[in-house]
Amino acid sequence: MSWILLVLSGVLESVWATALGRSEGFTRPVPTVVFGVALLLSMAGLAVAMRDLPIGTAYAVWVGIGAVLTVAYAMVTGTETVSVLKIVFLVGIVGCVVGLKALH
């Protein structure tokens, strides 16, 4: 259950990171509220998952999932350029996250 919660919290990290960028310095209300709610839920989920998982592993997985999804979303929406090397490195991050799960 902790791993599922950790993955969902990583997804929410991507949501709040994207909303933070779209909030334009907290001047746009909807992205600002999405940021706040997603941030609170993401941190709460990470905290609960850390009850059963080592802090280093949990944090690395949470950040990895959030980073990959944030960049992937930006590439899909066209706000970030797509390149073969970016995709290779993102796949590398996913591989590292899977490796950490396999070791635990």
Name the residue with tokens 């944090």.
59
The overall pTM is greater than 0.85: yes
Q: Taking each helix axis as running N to C, give the angle between helix 29-49 and helix 55-77, from 0 to 180 degrees, rounded to the nearest 10.
A: 150
Count of Cβ atoms closer than 10 Å to residue 65 Cβ: 22
DSSP the chain: -HHHHHHHHHHHHHHHHHHHHHTTTTTSHHHHHHHHHHHHHHHHHHHHHTTTS-HHHHHHHHHHHHHHHHHHHHHHHTSS---HHHHHHHHHHHHHHHHHHHH-
Host domain of residue 22? 2-103
Q: pLDDT tens per residue, the chain (104 residues)? A: 999 999 999 999 999 999 999 999 999 999 999 999 999 999 999 999 999 999 999 999 999 999 999 999 999 999 999 999 999 999 999 999 999 989 88
* Number of domains composing the chain: 1
